[in-house]
Amino acid sequence: MDENYGDMDDSFKKEITDIIVGTADGMFLLPALQIQSVLEQTSISKRRAALGTMPRSLEDSFQVNIDIINGQTPERAHQGMEILKWTYLAERQLTVAELCHALAATDSMSDSLDLNDLPFENTLLNYCHGLVILDEETSSIRFVHKSLQEFLKKKHENKELFETGHCDIYLTCLNYMKFKETSITEPTDKSDYQCNVSLFDRFPFLKYSICFWGEHVREQIDQEVTDRTLEFLSNEYPHFLLHCRLYIVVMSEAMYESQEFYGLHLAAYFGLVGVASAIIDRFGDNLITLSVCEKTPMLLATERGHEAIVRLLLEKRNAIHDLAKPLEIAIAQGFEKIVGLLLDNGDESTINLKVTDRSESLLSCAAMNGHLPICLLLLERDADIESRDNNVSTPLSQASYEGRMDVMNLLLERHRYRIAR
């Protein structure tokens, strides 16, 4: 509501409406931002001047609003831009509580979380000049329009905004996990596990920190970040390792029973090649074949499609790899390059390995999942086109059952070629 609306005469009100509607070009957001830029002025003369200079495109309007954010008092400008950064770079939408705790941890120089550092929730978004809003349905923070995401993406890629953003967020996650209050105790029974998980209620940003710190490292890694991550994963900070272990508990409670955890597994999961290499150099190749909850670093990297990690682990010749399960996973998920890497590091028998609980061939797995490029790759390496599983199913019958027409046509063509020979 404009408290000064009655001070403007009807002709000026109509002028504002006509000009803004004339530039709208079918968009709703642009007129809203234009009206905001005009009505925030403190006199009719200033409003008239703003009407003549207001932005005529969404991108110009976004830039004007960012300039206004930066033109506030330093504290308000800092908070406004921090919220823009977090909303743009976070791996998922943050709740109000998560964002408040993240902002408090970002600026904290202490090893203890001070709740007095939390920004006021009531005015949290006031300094974003309408660019960030609260999504009432999800109680999370989001941009006023998806076009702002694209605008910030261009700015970010051109290094005009948030150049060190991912590194900043990683360090905030690290800081939050270092707070004494959020330290995880060593679980000895189920009640301890439940106590640890209840920390998520008391410390809202903890779950995000545990689950996503590695994603931000992968986006923006340098030597300092690598060193900090190695420190994070070393035994010098045992409560950090407990956080890492809780990460797996977050993903699957069934993994709770694991009594060991290694930094290499997390580096493999997140695809942190430099970190994984440094861990192996420091602690030895034997870590490569160790399992946590029946998952080796190779299997974790394969599940996530991290080709560079798979390549790194295969290059460590002192480690003997079981290729069957990684091949099964890579084929099921369609990671063609990883399948090729694994086959390159196997022997002549690898191409006809039997996997799954039904003893299916690699070709049957690829056919069943409809991954034509992988089927071609396997056939080029002389995979047995007549292989049968425990149910006497062939790759062709698997493809037929799943309705994979392109794979069926390929296999039928190869059958005809074999018969013709």
pLDDT of residue 253: 47
- Contacts of 409 by beta carbon, 8 Å cutoff, 6+ apart: none
Structure tokens that stand for 279 in this block: 């861990």
Q: Does residue 29 carry a pLDDT above 80?
A: no
CA distance 340 to 345: 9
pLDDT of residue 142: 95
Residue that is last in its domain, among 220, 237, 252: 220
The one-letter code for the residue type at 232 is F
174 and 100 co-located in one domain: yes
Residue that is last in its domain, among 277, 295, 320: 320
68 and 195 co-located in one domain: yes
Q: ∠ CA(14), CA(126), CA(200), 5° rounding?
A: 140
> Which residue has 């770079």 as its token pair?
89
Q: Helix, strand or coil for residue 44?
A: helix
Structure tokens that stand for 357 in this block: 């609980």
pLDDT of residue 188: 46
CA distance 31 to 29: 6
The answer to whether residues 269 and 301 touch, using CB atoms and an 8 Å cutoff, is yes
List phi, psi (to 5°) of 295: -125, 120
Q: Which residue has the higher pLDDT, 295 or 363?
A: 363
Calculate helix-pair angle for 372-380, 362-369, nearest 10 degrees: 160
226 and 173 co-located in one domain: no
Nearest to 56 by CA among 87, 84, 19: 19
The answer to whether residues 353 and 327 touch, using CB atoms and an 8 Å cutoff, is yes
Burial of 30 from C-beta contacts in 10 A (0-12 / 13-18 / 19+): buried
272 and 394 co-located in one domain: no
pLDDT of residue 254: 44
Nearest to 124 by CA among 153, 95, 93, 157: 95
Over residues 135-182, the pLDDT tens digits come to: 988 889 999 888 899 999 999 999 999 999 999 999 999 888 877 665
188 and 67 co-located in one domain: yes
Report, as an integer, the average pLDDT of 20-37. Answer: 60
287 and 411 co-located in one domain: no
Owning domain of residue 336: 322-420
Residue that is last in its domain, among 320, 346, 371: 320
Which CATH number does the domain housing residue 375 bear? Answer: 1.25.40.20
Q: Does residue 356 carry a pLDDT above 90?
A: no
Per-residue DSSP letter, 295: B
Structure tokens that stand for 184 in this block: 């995880």
CA distance 315 to 303: 19
Structure tokens that stand for 69 in this block: 């954010």
99 and 87 co-located in one domain: yes
Q: Does residue 31 carry a pLDDT above 70?
A: no
> Which residue has 């995880």 as its token pair?
184
212 and 225 co-located in one domain: no
Over residues 77-95, the pLDDT tens digits come to: 999 999 999 999 999 999 9
314 and 332 co-located in one domain: no
310 and 328 co-located in one domain: no
Handedness of CA 262, 264, 269, 275 (dihedral sign): positive
pLDDT of residue 9: 67
pLDDT of residue 40: 74
114 and 243 co-located in one domain: no
Please count the CA atoms within 13 angstroms of the CA of 331 that sit on its side-chain side: 30
Q: Does residue 56 carry a pLDDT above 80?
A: no
Structure tokens that stand for 313 in this block: 């682990």
Q: Where are the beta strands (DSSP E) in 339-394?
A: 354-355, 360-361
pLDDT of residue 185: 45
pLDDT of residue 184: 45
Nearest to 302 by CA among 294, 311, 310: 310
Q: Does residue 192 carry a pLDDT above 80?
A: no
Q: How many domains does the chain have?
A: 4
66 and 198 co-located in one domain: yes
Per-residue DSSP letter, 2: -
The one-letter code for the residue type at 82 is E
Q: Enter the pTM of the model.
A: 0.78
Q: ∠ CA(369), CA(92), CA(162), 5° rounding?
A: 120
As a whole number, the mean pLDDT across the chain is 83
- Contacts of 163 by beta carbon, 8 Å cutoff, 6+ apart: 156
CA distance 44 to 33: 18
List phi, psi (to 5°) of 142: -150, 165
Nearest to 379 by CA among 369, 360, 366, 397: 366
Q: Helix, strand or coil for residue 361?
A: strand
